[in-house]
Structure 1
Amino acid sequence: MPSMFPSPATGGDDINRRPLNEPQADEHTIPTVLKVVFWMLFATAAFMIFSGLVMYTAGYTGPEDVEESYKDVVVNNQKFIGGINAFAGIVIAALTSQLPRGGKNPRRILLGIVLLVVLTDLLSFATRAGGFALAVIAVLLALEALLMFRPSINAHIERNHMARVMGRKS
């Protein structure tokens, strides 16, 4: 019977403390969620590289009846944002390749880069320095960062990290 006064010691049927219905996998298999995040990150990185190169090489595409100094500022902003996206896409692809082996540090660095790219792309989209693709990239990266820290992936990475630590000391 549920109590009117919540406490840390429940009767055992707390819906928030029930185990997840994820099947227990073998220690040597890669979780399905990690495989999905892996391929999503690679696809997003490829899209980032492509859109970054397009932005870098596009030139001015706005109205022609503006001053040349304004056109130069717009082109410089596009090149800057395009260069950031292309470089970040390469770095994300490189760090993503290390995820299945389960290192803690590559995942932390990847999260930091993802957060910086999300902020940069959303600000660029909001200030109209880039197109709709920047908003799509930001949403995809935010979703992938959320999925990257699922409990099954955390357990996989912790298992691999402990295997490395125990392997070094002995």
Structure 2
Amino acid sequence: MPSMFPSPATGGDDINRRPLNEPNADATTIPTALKVVFWMLFATAAFMIFTGLVMYTAGYTGPDDVDESYKAVVVNNQEFIGGINAFAGVVIAALTSQLPKGGKNPRRLLLAIMLLVLLTDLLSFATRAGGFALAIIAVLLALEALLMFRPAVNDHIDRNHMARVMNREK
């Protein structure tokens, strides 16, 4: 029975000292959530590259009865957003390849890039500077960011990080 006053010498059934996540698989397996987010990120990166290239090369597709300076501004915005999506898609694919055996820093950098692209795409969609594909990319990136920080994935990344730290000290 746990005592009313916790001490360093408490019994074995202290509810405050129980592990939060009981490991249900050995340390060498990759969690299912990490496998799912791995393939989702690759698919989203490919979709981002495709969407970015389409936006970069599409030109002006709106009504023809507008001023030429307006057309130039619209094309410039589309090229900018398309370039960001294509470049971010390549970077996300490169960082995703490091997730299964990577440490904490590639995942943090991946999250930062995902959040920047998410904000850029949502703002572009809201201001009608891009199409519906930008909203789909933003929703996918938000879902993948959630999956990337599941408890099983966190435990796996912590094990990889600690293994690297211990090997570095030798």
Aligned residue in 2 for 1:40: 40
Deviation of residue 26 (structure 1)? Answer: 1.0
Give the partner amino acid of 2:159. Answer: R
For the aligned residue pairs, the C-alpha RMSD in angstroms reads 1.7
- 2:122 partner SS: helix
Is the Cα–Cα contact under 8 Å of residues 51 and 82 in structure 1 kept in the other structure? yes
Aligned residue in 2 for 1:57: 57
Is the Cα–Cα contact under 8 Å of residues 31 and 152 in structure 1 kept in the other structure? yes
- 2:27 partner SS: coil
Aligned residue in 1 for 2:169: 169
Cα offsets for 1:38-63 (capped at 9, x unmatched): 00000000000000000000000000
Aligned residue in 2 for 1:66: 66
* Structure 1 residue 118 corresponds to structure 2 residue 118: yes
**Structure 2: how far apart are the matches of 1:143 and 1:134?**
14
Deviation of residue 161 (structure 1)? Answer: 0.5
**Structure 2 CA distance for partners of 1:39 and 1:26, relative to 1, 3 Å:** same
| Runs of 4+ displaced beyond 4 Å | 17-20
TM-score (norm 2): 0.87
Deviation of residue 19 (structure 1)? Answer: 5.6
Identity of aligned residues (%): 82
Cα offsets for 1:59-85 (capped at 9, x unmatched): 000000001110000000000000000
Gaps of 5+ in 1: 1-11
**Structure 1: how far apart are the matches of 2:23 and 2:111?**
27
Aligned residue in 2 for 1:8: none
Q: In the comparison of the two structures, how many residue pairs are matched?
A: 155
**Structure 2 CA distance for partners of 1:25 and 1:102, relative to 1, 3 Å:** farther
Superposition pairs of residues 74-113 of structure 1, within 5 angstroms: 74-113=74-113
Cα offsets for 1:1-41 (capped at 9, x unmatched): xxxxxxxxxxx99xxx9966x87111001001000000000
Give the partner amino acid of 1:91. Answer: V
Give the partner amino acid of 1:118. Answer: L
* Structure 1 residue 138 corresponds to structure 2 residue 141: no
Is the Cα–Cα contact under 8 Å of residues 102 and 156 in structure 1 kept in the other structure? no
Give the partner amino acid of 1:135. Answer: A
Deviation of residue 102 (structure 1)? Answer: 2.9
* Structure 1 residue 25 corresponds to structure 2 residue 25: yes
Give the partner amino acid of 2:142. Answer: A
